[in-house]
């Protein structure tokens, strides 16, 4: 037995090492690693807890089993039995080790983030209520990663650093959101299926940003369609929701993922504030200056709308308040169209004059 700061080295039977629940689900090519170990020996010992649970080295252990090894020297880490320390120790930068997949990394990051926050809270409580002599100076993992602050951003940064070696957590959070939707049974099945499809695309090298944008668009459209079909919603909200969903569907064949996401979220935001109140409706319309693309989509959707309704049926069922709103909308539309026509005539005239010169 040898002693090294932070751990001791012992000989163990390979069959006595227990592999618990781990985030890596695919060990990859073990043959290459086994050949390297056979040629150069085990350059980095396997690490276990005092009770023999594997901390890091699952691929090395599999390679050793393949080589027929029965006993080996392992590192036993003191203070490593806590779940957080075991998670952190799963990370290994050796070139022969297989990197975690994006989904595996995001799952590990999410668990580490929660445990870091819990551990920080426990440390704060211990410091608050214990004496100076009672304050814990190390809980096993502190020599690798110091206690985090209470802020969520700091916790995210530290969790990302421990899992990926980088402080950026945006990609991990995005994948985590897709995983959350895919696993949430309270979410509509079509959305869960869509999230699963996007995760598969990411696993095969697809863009995480584009996947989440498509997912956000689908979530917004699903909510618009739900609101449009909900008889308990005010008429203004149902109408705005229906128009918004139609606009997004019309734009889908040509719009980029980013544009479509923005269009869907803008439509959902407008629908949620739409009411029967003309004052609120006018204020919302005046404040929201939409892009030209949205204007074109709107009028594309309205093309031939008068052919799709029964005039007599509508006349018999419209309330006075609904008719007042139609009159107001028509008046505003006509005024807008006249102003637009004049400005286009001026613009076209200037262009023709320039061309003639």
Tell me the C-alpha distance between 8 and 2, whole Å: 6
Is 148 within 8 Å of 117 (Cβ atoms)? yes
Q: Which of 84, 99, 114 is where one domain is finished? A: 99
Same domain? For 64 and 142 the reply is no
228 and 245 in contact (C-beta within 8 Å)? yes
- If one counts the domains in the chain, the total is 3
Q: Is residue 324 in a domain?
A: no
Q: In the chain, pLDDT over 90 holds for what percent of residues?
A: 18
Q: Is 128 contained in some domain?
A: yes
User: How confident is the model at residue 78, as a pLDDT?
Assistant: 54
Report yes or no on 313 lying in a domain. Answer: no
One domain, residues 177 and 240: no
* Domain membership of residue 110 as a residue range: 103-195
Kindly state whether residues 111 and 169 are assigned to the same domain: yes
The residue among 54, 78, 99 that closes a domain is 99
Residue 356 resides in a domain: no
**Of the residues 99, 125, 157, the one at which a domain ends:** 99
Q: Which residue has the tokens 């002693």?
A: 3
| DSSP string covering 188-219 | -HHHHHHHHHHHHHHHTT--HHHHHHHHHHHH
184 shares a domain with 231: no
- Diameter of the chain measured on Cα atoms: 96
Total-model pTM: 0.52
Asked whether residue 343 is domain-assigned, the answer is no
| Lowest-confidence pick of 52-66, 192-206, 252-266 | 52-66
Asked if residue 353 belongs to a domain, the reply is no
Residue 197: pLDDT above 80? yes
How many other CB atoms are there within 10 angstroms of residue 205's CB atom?
A: 7
Does one domain contain both 181 and 138?
yes
* Residue 332, in any domain of the structure: no
Say if residue 176 is in the same domain as residue 262: no
Residues 112-155: pLDDT tens digits? 787 777 766 766 666 565 544 444 443 333 333 334 344 567 78
Same domain, 211 and 299: yes
* Pairwise CA distance, residues 171 & 328, whole Å: 47
Indicate whether 176 and 213 sit together in one domain. Answer: no
Answer yes or no: are the C-beta atoms of 71 and 125 closer than 8 Å. Answer: no
Residue 246 has pLDDT above 80, yes or no: yes
Cα–Cα dist 57/42, whole Å: 11
Instruction: Tell me the sheet residues that pair with 11.
Output: 73
| CATH number for 79 | 3.90.1530.10
Cα end-to-end span (Å), the chain: 95
Give tens-digit pLDDT for 64-97: 988 998 888 887 765 444 555 555 555 543 334 5
């Amino acid at each position: 037995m040898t002693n090294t700061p932070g751990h001791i080295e012992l000989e163990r039977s390979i069959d006595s090492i227990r592999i618990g629940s781990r985030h890596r689900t695919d060990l990859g090519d073990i043959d290459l690693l086994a050949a390297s170990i056979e040629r150069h020996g085990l350059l980095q010992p396997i690490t276990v807890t005092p009770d023999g649970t594997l901390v890091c080295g699952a691929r090395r252990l599999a390679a050793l089993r393949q080589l027929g090894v029965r006993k080996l020297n392992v590192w036993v880490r003191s203070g490593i039995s806590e779940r957080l320390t075991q998670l952190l120790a799963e990370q290994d930068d050796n070139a022969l080790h297989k990197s975690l997949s994006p989904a595996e990394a995001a799952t590990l990051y999410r668990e580490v983030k929660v445990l870091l926050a819990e551990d920080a809270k426990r440390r704060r409580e211990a410091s608050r209520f214990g004496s100076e002599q009672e304050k814990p100076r190390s809980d096993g993992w502190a020599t690798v990663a110091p206690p985090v602050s209470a802020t969520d951003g700091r916790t995210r940064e530290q969790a990302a650093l421990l899992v990926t070696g980088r402080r950026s957590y945006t990609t991990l959070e995005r994948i985590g959101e897709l995983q959350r939707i895919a696993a949430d049974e309270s979410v509509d099945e079509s959305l869960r299926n869509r999230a699963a499809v996007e995760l598969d695309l990411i696993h095969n090298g697809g863009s995480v940003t584009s996947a989440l944008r498509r997912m956000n668009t689908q979530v917004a459209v699903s909510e618009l369609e739900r609101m449009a079909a909900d008889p308990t919603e005010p008429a203004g909200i149902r109408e705005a929701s229906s128009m918004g969903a139609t606009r997004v569907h019309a734009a889908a064949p040509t719009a980029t993922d980013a544009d479509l996401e923005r269009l869907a979220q803008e439509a959902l935001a407008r629908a949620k504030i739409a009411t029967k109140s003309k004052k609120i409706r006018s204020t919302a319309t005046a404040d929201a200056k939409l892009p030209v693309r949205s204007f074109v989509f709107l009028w594309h959707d309205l093309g031939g709308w008068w052919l799709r309704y029964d005039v007599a049926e509508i006349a018999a069922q419209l309330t006075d308040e609904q008719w007042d709103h139609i009159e107001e909308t028509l008046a505003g539309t006509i005024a807008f169209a006249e102003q637009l026509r004049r400005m286009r005539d001026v613009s076209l005239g200037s262009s023709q004059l320039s061309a003639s010169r």
